[in-house]
Amino acid sequence: MIIQLSPNVTSEEKKAILAKLDDLKIKANIVSTQFKNYIVGIPKTDFDIRSIGTMKGIADIHCVSDAYKLVSKKWKVNNTIIDLGNNVTIGGKELAIMAGPCSIEGEKQIEHTVQHLLKNNIKIMRGGVYKPRSSPYAFRGMGMDGLKLFYKHCSENGIKVITEVMQVSQVEEMIDYVDIFQVGARNSQNFNLLDALGSVDKAVLIKRGMSGTIEELLASAEYVFSNGNEKIMLCERGIRTFENAYRNTLDLNAVPILKEKSHLPVIVDPSHGIGLRQHVATMALAGVMSGADGIIVEVHENPEIAFSDGQQTLYDGQAESLYKKLRATKELVNSF
């Protein structure tokens, strides 16, 4: 059960509502986000919603039977649109395109990428500075030095920054240099990290775990929302199956199902989703056709010498051709 509190709810009214819930043996979770105030009630048994609904201080009340509550479409029918400022939004009619290298490698690379994005009217740049790597001996990213350079060049050019955060202590460190925090597939159920990201006012993109179910992805988003942050995107990036002809199995079924179950924007990552450069563009387009609100894609001036993920990274020219097709495809979807 989700209780939306009135904007001008008094502390007396709030107390009365909590007392009532206590009476009904409903566990109450108080949620205050950057936008609104809610109480999420977890009842142990059936109860009559009318006994609460008429109380003062309540704007609206909804039963949500799903395991996830605040991220469910059952109480919020309209799709969430995330506003990053400077007219950059995610979740509306326009396709959000996020492009850039797997890893931030240095200033020259950043400058080159920014020019590429400006030329193609792309408003969000991706790039990792903390890299989760299977082996401790692999390149683990440029860290804060890289991030500061990354953010400087982007913010000077009106481009938003998305980058991966790997642990709680990094959130505070990174917050001034990030527009969207990315939670990687390996951290999709790192609940402490999700808690921490719920208490900041920055957009969060959560990648589905390698063997994460759609339910689990929504539950992870619930962690962020219930800690106070409504700016959440869900990202399908391929799951792990028996097939070895490619890197991951891009599960486009997940897109319409996530859009049906949740009001949150859904982003598709075709680079990790298939992992083979020659097919990334095709799967990006299929992702848009499946209903994605955005695409996150790896592009590099020279993928052959990229520090990581080169085999799935587009050349600039390939990316430019893709951007045009993505927009044409989104236009067709909008016309349906």
Residues 162-201 that bind its own copies (CB under 8 A): 166-169, 186-187, 189-193, 195
Judged by CB under 8 A, the chain residues 258 through 277 that form the site for its own copies are: 260, 273-274, 276
Residues linked to residue 98 through DSSP beta bridges, in sequence order: 124, 296
Judged by CB under 8 A, the chain residues 213 through 232 that form the site for its own copies are: 213-216, 219, 222-223, 226-227
Q: Which of 282, 311, 318, 327 lies at the binding interface for its own copies (CB under 8 A)?
A: 282
44 belongs to the binding site for its own copies (CB under 8 A)? no
String of DSSP letters for 295-320: EEEEB-S-GGG-SS-GGGPBPHHHHH
Judged by CB under 8 A, the chain residues 13 through 32 that form the site for its own copies are: 27, 29
Nearer to its own copies, 51 or 213 (CB): 213
- 324-333, long-range: CB < 8 A, 24+ apart: 325/281, 325/285, 326/95, 326/97, 326/284, 326/285, 326/288, 326/295, 327/95, 329/285, 329/288, 329/289, 330/94, 330/95, 330/288, 332/289, 333/288, 333/289, 333/291
DSSP state of 57: T
45 belongs to the binding site for its own copies (CB under 8 A)? no
Smallest distance from its own copies to CB 247, Å? 9
Number of residues that bind its own copies (CB under 8 A): 75
Q: Which of 38, 68, 75, 181 lies at the binding interface for its own copies (CB under 8 A)?
A: 68
- Residue 90 sits at φ, ψ, to 5 deg, of -130, 125
- Residue 14 sits at φ, ψ, to 5 deg, of -60, -45
Taking contact as CB under 8 A, which single stretch among the options 3-11, 72-80, 105-113, 246-254 is the one that binds its own copies?
246-254
Smallest distance from its own copies to CB 92, Å? 19
Q: Which residue has the tokens 């990030």?
A: 178
Q: Retrieve residue 119's tokens.
A: 């030329």
Coil, strand, or helix at residue 327? helix
Taking contact as CB under 8 A, which single stretch among the options 4-12, 95-103, 107-115, 280-288 is the one that binds its own copies?
280-288
278 belongs to the binding site for its own copies (CB under 8 A)? yes
Residues linked to residue 298 through DSSP beta bridges, in sequence order: 100
Q: What kind and span of H or E run contains 150?
A: helix 143-156
Smallest distance from its own copies to CB 111, Å? 28
65 belongs to the binding site for its own copies (CB under 8 A)? no
Q: Which of 88, 92, 112, 132 lies at the binding interface for its own copies (CB under 8 A)?
A: 132
Helices (H) and strands (E) in the chain, counts: 11, 14
Taking contact as CB under 8 A, which single stretch among the options 2-10, 13-21, 66-74, 145-153 is the one that binds its own copies?
66-74
